[in-house]
Structure 1
């Protein structure tokens, strides 16, 4: 029984500039079968697909024109590039919209039509205000929780509750693009945060990714909180 030899090729596409995939092929499969396998990966139909083979130096070595030939006839080697050319101008891959979402038509609705919808947050607020108008009139003052910051300064070791997460204070002050009042920026000792100190496009402090948190000061306790020993829990 003959051995089913195979090859790994790097597949690229004429219309999909960001598409690149390493695909495993049997050398015994026909060119048409290879095209069918690629159609399921990139969306170009078999009838609209032309294939070109490039060596590892980027030089074209073959055009795979005969669909009935086995792939091995064209002597591909591991690491060669198999380039798909989509010949259909109306193909789903044409125009770049599969990669550039700015080209996709966005759903929009007029203010008049939106006002007629039920179950929206706008309708919820209107209903809430009709029952208790004072709820929407309450605003957070600019000095909210300022008193909690009196003993917190940048560089302090701290512990955050709930959860007992430890870290160092990196920011104390207002963050108007989030909400009025005072905030404390923490760099956690471990990747237990949500960001790298940049929140809603504004940099409040600098720290490694997933180590940053911005919290109200009432959740931050400063003091002698050394970094936790990662092996401590394993000790008996």
Structure 2
């Protein structure tokens, strides 16, 4: 049990400021019977600072430093705190980050970096890992080539005007009409532009200011060819215009 006791009234009303936002000041009322550790926990909710890195200072009405609340087990009321005083929270962690932002960064040229033996690049080269493994890189290139060939083959099965169903992973299947087949500017590879039967799309057939086809807003979308199944998929009657 603590040797300190509350020497004034049970509650104290103070203003709270913090180093992260000097212009903000809030008024709060606290029980004097709580410990400084508990008090810091309440200050965390008000200022966002971590109790483990914050410093708490007490200022009187003349803005003169009265004391610092630095003993975690001591009671708040055992410090000479009175109504109207100001509690200032200093976020030491944020201050450290601010100080580090001014530290001059260490830079090294590509030539000097390549000569060093204690770098990640040197480790990868020595152990033939990643891009320094010719066999691994060849295997990746072959897989990528096969994926591109499969994507192109799927794209060539799609014709403008064809009806289709779109199967995007983790999304419900949607019926649509194919409006575009090709390689757009916004992403690499083959893409299929579709006009959905329902307003479940993301655009009106244009992306980043370039138009690929015409449709109403929210009816257009672009999907990978492997997510499109061409077939006899007539439009369903969704009764979108029905009045209730």
Query: Based on CA coordinates, which of the two structures has the bigger radius of gyration?
Result: 2
Tell me the TM-score normalised to structure 1 length: 0.44
